[in-house]
Amino acid sequence: MKANSFRWCSGAVLAVILMLPTLGLGQENASEAAFSAALSTLKGASMAERGQAIEQLAAVRQPRVVVVLQALLEGRLFNLKADDRLVIGETVEEGYRLIDAQSAESLGTAARSAMQKIAVTNNLRASLRKLIGRLQLNNDDADVRLAAVKAIGKAVDADSLALLRDHLVLEQDAGVQKAIKLILGLEQLKRGDKAQRLAAIALLKDQASRDVVNRLNGLVEKDTEGRFREPDGEVRRQAEAALASINARLQLYAAAETLFFGLSLGAVLVLAAIGLAITFGVMGVINMAHGELMMLGAYTTYVTQQLMPDSLGWSLAIAIPAAFVISGLTGIAIERGIIRFLYGRPLETLLATFGVSLFLQQTVRSIFSPLNRSVATPDWMSGAWRINDFLSLTWNRFYILVFCLLVFALLLQILRRTRLGLEVRAVAQNRNMAKAMGIPTGRVDALTFGLGSGIAGVAGVALSQITNVGPNLGQVYIVDSFMVVVFGGVGNLWGTLVAGFSLGIANKLLEPYAGAVLAKILVLVFIILFIQKRPRGLFPQRGRAVEG
C-alpha cells in the first residue's frame, strides 16, 4: 500500500530523512497535480467515472483528501456552475458558505441554484466510508485513528476487518490497539470456530466494554425454545468465567464511582463547613449567615463572568480572590456591627446572624431577581474523564475535590504558620491571657471572622460551578455545614475534613438503596443520634480551654 509505504518512509533512517526535503517537494507537486486530476474526473457524469475518481483521490497523499471525501459522503460537495470548480458547501441562512475543495480557500456564499450537487450511489457511499476509515487510520493523531476505528467498528464487514487486522501490526498507540482488538475479538466470537472463539474470550476478558458484556451474555443465555444459543459447552464455561471476572471488575468500578461521588459531595460539604469551622469552631460564634456569605461568593462569580464574558477561565481565576474579599469584608462588617455586642450570648448571636442572612438574601433577590442565574463552566472543567465504558468521572467535581483540599491546606498553614494564625489560636484558647500578652483581641476577632467568611465566599465560587446560583443557595447548605462541624468536633479543622468526607461518602453509599432524599434524612437522623452519644463530635477538644 502506498500510504503505508509513505508512513514507513517518514519513519525511516537518517539518510532518508535528510533526503526528504527535496523528495517531499517533488512529491507535493506531483500529488497536487494528481489531486486536481482526480477532482476533475469526479466532475464527470457517470457513476463509474466517479468511482474511479474516488479511488484516485484516495491514492493522493494530501490531508485535504479526507475532507473532500467526507463532504462527498455527506452530500456537501458541489460543482459551482459559473466557473466549473468543485466546492464544499456549508449550510448557512442565506444558502451555502463555500470553500474551494482543493485549496480550502473561502469563496463567500452562493444560492443552491448556482451549484450542482455531486451525487453518489449507496455502493459508492460504502466504499467511501471504507476509504475514509483507511485514510484516517493513517493519520498521525492517535485520537483521529481511535475515532476511525470506532467508526469502522459500528458496521464491520470482511474488508474492514482485514483492514483493521493489517493496521493492528503497524499501530503503536495502546488505546487504538485495544479498540481494534475489541472489534476483532467480538467478530471472532461471532463467526470463528471453537478454538478462535475460546481465544477471543480470553482476549476480551480484560476489556471493560458494554459490547463485550452483551455478547458474552448472549453466549450463556438460552433462546426462547430453551436451547443454549452457544452449542459448545466449553465455550459457554469460558464465557461464564469471563463474565464473572468482568462483573467482579464492574463492581470495583461501581465502588470506585460511589467513592468518587461521595468524595466530591464531601468536598462540597467540607468547603461549605470549613469557614464555619473557623467562626463557630474557633470563635464559638454561631453564624447563621454563613450560607449567605457563600451565596455572595457565587454571585461574585456570576458578576465577574458578566464583566468578562470572553475569557471564562480568567474570570473564574479573578472570582476566587474577589469572592474572598467581598465575603470577607461583609463578614468583618457583620462582626464589628452586630456580633461584637453579643459575645457570650450564643443564642442571641444565632438569632441576630439569622436576621443578617434574611437581609442578605433579600438584598440579592432585589438586585439580581429571585430567579436562578446560571454560571458558565470553562471548557476544561466541563465534560467527563471517561476511563472506560463503565467508569467516567466528571471534571468539575474532580476539580472541586482538588480545590477543596487546596483551600484546606492553605487554611491550615495560615492558622499554623502566620502571625494571625498564632493570635487566633491564642485568643481561642484563653482570651484574657491573650489580652494580657498584648494581643488586640478585638482586631483578631474581626480578622478571624473575616477569614472564615472569606473562605465561605471561596466555597461559593466552587458551588457556582456545580449548581445554579440563586438567593436560596446558602439555605440549602447551612444545616448541612453545621452538621459537618458538629459531627467533626467543634474547634478541630481535621475533624471537619474527616466529617465532611465521611458524611459525603455515607450519603452516596445509602443513595442506591434508599434514594437521595431518604439517604439525606438517614444521615441527618444518624448525626442527631450521634450527637446524643458524643455531644462534642468525633474529635472533641480536650483540656481546660473547653470548659471556658
Partner 1 sequence: MLLNGLKNDKVMASVLAALAAISLIVPLCNLLFAPDSPLYFSAYTVSLIGKYLTFALLGMSLDLVWGYCGILALGQGAFFALGGYVMGMYLMRQIGSRGVYGDPVLPDFMVFLDWKELPWYWHGFDQFWLAALMIVLVPGLLAFVFGWLAFRSRVTGVYLSIITQALTYALMLAFFRNEMGFGGNNGLTDFKDILGFNIQSDAVRACLLMASGITLILALLISRRVINSKLGRVVTAVRDQEMRVRFLGYRVENFKLWVFVFAAMLAGMAGALYVPQVGIINPSEFSPLNSLEVVIWVAVGGRGTLYGAIVGAVLVNYAKTLLTGWAPEIWLFFLGAAFILVTVLLPDGLLGFWRRHPKEQKQ
Beta bridge partners of 386: 392
Give the range of 15-23, 169-177, 401-409, 522-530 binding partner 1 by CB under 8 A: 522-530
Considering the complex, state which of residue 82 and residue 347 has its C-beta at the smaller distance from partner 1. Answer: 347
Q: Residues 518, 545, 546, 548: which binds partner 1 (CB under 8 A)?
A: 518
Least Å distance, CB 189 to partner 1, is 44
Q: Residues 161, 420, 531, 538: which binds partner 1 (CB under 8 A)?
A: 531
The contacts of residue 114 (CB under 8 Å, 6+ apart) are 80, 81, 82
**3 state DSSP class of 384:** strand
- How far apart (Å, rounded) are the C-alpha atoms in residues 493 and 265? 18
With binding defined as CB under 8 A, does residue 512 bind partner 1?
Answer: no
The contacts of residue 84 (CB under 8 Å, 6+ apart) are 43
Q: Residues 338, 426, 466, 509: which binds partner 1 (CB under 8 A)?
A: 338
Q: Residues 68, 486, 493, 503: which binds partner 1 (CB under 8 A)?
A: 486
Least Å distance, CB 337 to partner 1, is 9
With binding defined as CB under 8 A, does residue 227 bind partner 1?
Answer: no
- How far apart (Å, rounded) are the C-alpha atoms in residues 390 and 208? 7
- How far apart (Å, rounded) are the C-alpha atoms in residues 541 and 72? 73
With binding defined as CB under 8 A, does residue 513 bind partner 1?
Answer: no
- How far apart (Å, rounded) are the C-alpha atoms in residues 176 and 411? 44
Q: Residues 308, 358, 387, 409: which binds partner 1 (CB under 8 A)?
A: 358
The contacts of residue 221 (CB under 8 Å, 6+ apart) are 228, 229
- How far apart (Å, rounded) are the C-alpha atoms in residues 392 and 384? 6
Beta bridge partners of 99: 88, 106
CB 400, CB 268: distance < 8 Å: yes
Considering the complex, state which of residue 214 and residue 362 has its C-beta at the smaller distance from partner 1. Answer: 362
**Binding-residue total with partner 1 (CB under 8 A):** 41
Q: Residue for cell digits 470548659?
A: 547
With binding defined as CB under 8 A, does residue 332 bind partner 1?
Answer: no
Least Å distance, CB 540 to partner 1, is 12
Q: Residues 10, 214, 311, 366: which binds partner 1 (CB under 8 A)?
A: 366
Ranges within 64-93 binding partner 1 (CB under 8 A) = none
Q: Residue for cell digits 455515607?
A: 506
With binding defined as CB under 8 A, does residue 348 bind partner 1?
Answer: yes
Q: Is the dihedral of CA 535, 540, 543, 546 positive or negative?
A: negative
Considering the complex, state which of residue 378 and residue 470 has its C-beta at the smaller distance from partner 1. Answer: 470
- How far apart (Å, rounded) are the C-alpha atoms in residues 481 and 521? 15
**In degrees to the nearest 10, what's the CA dihedral of 120, 121, 124, 130?**
100
Considering the complex, state which of residue 39 and residue 356 has its C-beta at the smaller distance from partner 1. Answer: 356
Order of strands across the sheet that contains 95-100 = 106-110, 95-100, 85-92, 77-80, 115-117
Give the range of 379-387, 394-402, 420-428, 514-522 binding partner 1 by CB under 8 A: 514-522
DSSP string of 91-129, one letter each residue: EETTEEEEEETTT--EEEEE-GGGEEE----HHHHHHHH
Give the range of 30-38, 316-324, 419-427, 523-531 binding partner 1 by CB under 8 A: 523-531
One symbol per residue from 282 to 301: x for binding partner 1 (CB under 8 A), - otherwise; what is it? ----x---------------
Q: Residues 14, 48, 158, 347: which binds partner 1 (CB under 8 A)?
A: 347
Give the range of 102-110, 142-150, 196-204, 350-358 binding partner 1 by CB under 8 A: 350-358
**In degrees to the nearest 10, what's the CA dihedral of 410, 414, 418, 422?**
-150
With binding defined as CB under 8 A, does residue 18 bind partner 1?
Answer: no
Considering the complex, state which of residue 355 and residue 512 has its C-beta at the smaller distance from partner 1. Answer: 355
Q: Residues 6, 314, 341, 385: which binds partner 1 (CB under 8 A)?
A: 341
With binding defined as CB under 8 A, does residue 527 bind partner 1?
Answer: yes
CB 67, CB 89: distance < 8 Å: no
With binding defined as CB under 8 A, does residue 279 bind partner 1?
Answer: no
With binding defined as CB under 8 A, does residue 9 bind partner 1?
Answer: no
Least Å distance, CB 291 to partner 1, is 11
The grid coordinates of residue 201 equal 474470550
With binding defined as CB under 8 A, does residue 356 bind partner 1?
Answer: yes
- How far apart (Å, rounded) are the C-alpha atoms in residues 312 and 302? 11
Give the range of 43-51, 144-152, 357-365, 440-448 binding partner 1 by CB under 8 A: 357-365
Give the range of 218-226, 229-237, 347-355, 377-385 binding partner 1 by CB under 8 A: 347-355
Q: Which residues bind partner 1 (CB under 8 A)?
A: 286, 338, 341-342, 346-352, 354-359, 361-363, 365-366, 475, 479, 482-483, 486, 515, 517-518, 520-521, 524-525, 527-529, 531-533, 535
